[in-house]
């Protein structure tokens, strides 16, 4: 697998974005961890369960837009007993840009520093049942795919959620003329953000349904199911329709204490293209393979549309694949190029990458390079 910063992909010269240096301070189990000279290629981290491998991947994910791979509360990330708040810093290539994030003790919120953002996609064991679990998990999964190409999507989701929460609070107040005007303004905000969110999700699902991967991975069909985007309607018409639907649902929403209309009610439907079987009815192994297919297809799309593949974070992924699919995964990663972080408890699972990967062992909070 190439480890250079530039390679050929579908006839285009690419400059993949990758992390060349990484520093963690009081982050989860890591008091002070520093890595340098990281390649644009595979980085394999092995170690026992509980060594902090997933914590390391989470730190990288927080350099990207969005809440990170665990979607954790900012205040819960600081290492237990630490006197200082958590911080993550990375040097991102090409260009050597410094990029940081951490807990701002003054506001209690996450702060960012540096320029630009890191395009990043991931798959973790906690996501193994996302295709058969509650719709909220699938919405978050699809939003992460969208964020890899459109960093502004996260701000839309945050704006929509904030306006929806505020609308719920206002609905609990006594009815007044001022309240009605306030609700109309919030519903207009929700309509504008909500239609844009639904459109981005639907477009991503349609594109990934048309994608195809070579090898032994199942091909998925994806569809975004949502009443927010009436078929054949322009964006402004859809916004007006959603605003009217929210207005009509005020009494119901006040009675139930939840918002019954909008893209937060939508769902990502996934089926196997060859079998036609809904992912929710597939085996755990088949669901894992479908998730990998979707992530890799989106990574290829990012590479084609932005000039380079995203950073991939694949936590314990090899252990859940049979040898044939494991070999297929490594082959697809080689074709994609770019930086990919892989973790596992057994180094033997990554034997095909022996000649091209940066191999590190994590034990007792210390990373040791494996020669």
Candidate CATH numbers 3.40.50.300, 1.10.10.60, 1.20.1050.90, 1.25.10.10; the one for domain 133-281: 1.20.1050.90
The token pair at 172 is: 């609990």
pLDDT given for residue 267 in this prediction: 96
CA atoms of 311 and 233, how far apart (whole Å): 36
Residues 46-72: tens digit of each pLDDT: 999 999 999 999 999 999 998 999 999
CA atoms of 102 and 23, how far apart (whole Å): 12
CA atoms of 335 and 123, how far apart (whole Å): 19
278 close to 306: Cβ distance less than 8 angstroms: no
Sheet holding 120-123, edge to edge: 120-123, 311-315, 340-344, 42-46, 358-363, 366-369
User: Which alpha helices (DSSP H) does the chain contain, by range?
Assistant: 53-61, 135-147, 153-171, 177-210, 235-248, 250-256, 284-306, 323-336
SS (H, E, C) 31-67: EEEEECCCCCCEEEEECCCCCCHHHHHHHHHCCCCCC
Residues 206-219: tens digit of each pLDDT: 999 998 776 778 89
Is the domain spanning 1-131+283-371 CATH 3.40.50.300? The answer is yes
261 close to 269: Cβ distance less than 8 angstroms: no
Residue-range domain boundaries for the chain? 1-131+283-371, 133-281
pLDDT given for residue 370 in this prediction: 83
pLDDT given for residue 6 in this prediction: 31
pLDDT given for residue 233 in this prediction: 58
pLDDT < 50 regions, the chain? 1-13
CA atoms of 221 and 84, how far apart (whole Å): 47
Q: Give the position of tokens 């702060």.
A: 111
228 close to 266: Cβ distance less than 8 angstroms: yes
């Amino acid at each position: 697998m190439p480890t250079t910063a530039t390679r050929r992909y579908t006839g285009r010269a690419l400059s993949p974005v990758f992390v060349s240096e990484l520093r963690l301070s009081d982050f989860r189990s890591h008091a002070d961890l520093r890595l340098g000279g990281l390649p644009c290629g595979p980085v394999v981290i092995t170690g026992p369960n509980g060594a902090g491998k997933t914590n390391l991947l989470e730190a990288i994910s927080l350099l990207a837009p969005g809440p990170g791979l665990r979607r954790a509360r900012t205040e819960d990330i600081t290492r237990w007993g630490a006197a200082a708040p958590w911080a993550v810093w990375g040097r991102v290539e090409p260009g050597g840009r410094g990029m940081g994030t951490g807990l701002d003790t003054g506001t209690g919120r996450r702060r960012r520093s540096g320029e630009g953002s890191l395009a990043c996609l991931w798959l973790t064991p906690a996501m193994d049942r996302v295709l058969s679990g509650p719709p909220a998990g699938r919405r978050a999964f699809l939003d992460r795919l969208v964020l890899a190409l459109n960093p502004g999507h996260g701000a839309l989701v945050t704006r929509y959620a904030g306006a929806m929460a505020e609308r719920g609070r206002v609905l609990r107040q006594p009815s007044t003329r001022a309240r009605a005007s306030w609700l109309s303004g919030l519903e207009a905000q929700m309509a504008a953000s909500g239609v844009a969110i639904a459109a981005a999700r639907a477009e991503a699902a349609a594109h990934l349904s048309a994608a195809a991967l070579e090898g032994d991975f199942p091909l998925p069909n994806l569809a975004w199911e949502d009443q927010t985007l009436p078929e054949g309607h322009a964006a402004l018409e859809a916004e007006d329709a959603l605003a009217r639907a929210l207005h009509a649902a005020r009494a119901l929403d006040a009675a139930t204490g939840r918002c019954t209309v909008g893209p937060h009610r939508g769902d990502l439907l996934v089926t196997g293209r060859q079998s036609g079987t809904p992912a929710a009815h597939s085996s755990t192994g088949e669901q894992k393979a479908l998730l990998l297919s979707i992530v890799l297809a989106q990574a290829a799309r990012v590479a084609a549309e932005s000039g380079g593949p995203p950073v991939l974070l694949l936590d314990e992924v090899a252990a859940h694949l049979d040898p044939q699919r494991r070999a297929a995964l490594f082959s697809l990663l080689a074709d994609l190029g770019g930086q990919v972080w892989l973790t596992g408890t057994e180094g033997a699972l990554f034997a095909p990458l022996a000649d091209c990967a940066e191999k590190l062992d994590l034990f007792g909070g210390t990373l040791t390079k494996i020669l």
